[in-house]
Amino acid sequence: MIKVVCNGYLGKKVRIKCNTKDTTGDLKKLIAAQTGTCWNKIVLKKWYTIFKDHVSLGHYETHGGINLELYYR
């Protein structure tokens, strides 16, 4: 289990526990359950890299305590 911290551009901070084998789409669904938004509208970024829905978090080399940027379409 890793803990992912997502910082929204409006100052909202969301902390999610997930596995490295989970896909980014799964992470978006967990974030949507906490924030109350639609998971299709969530965009996750790390610097200039936009995370794709079908790729697992392990392929993006995410580790415990990583900070991701949370945007909405």
Domain that holds residue 27: 2-72
CATH code of residue 31: 3.10.20.90
Tokens of residue 73, six digits? 């379409």
Tokens of residue 2, six digits? 């890793």
Q: What is the pLDDT of residue 62?
A: 87
Number of domains the chain is built from: 1
Local structure of residue 37 (DSSP, 8 states): S
* Mean of per-residue pLDDT scores for the chain: 91
pTM comes to 0.89
Q: Is the pLDDT of residue 55 over 90?
A: yes
Using one digit for the tens of pLDDT, what is the confidence trace for 8-40? Answer: 888 889 999 999 899 999 999 999 999 989 999
- Give the Cα separation of 11 and 60 in Å (integer): 24
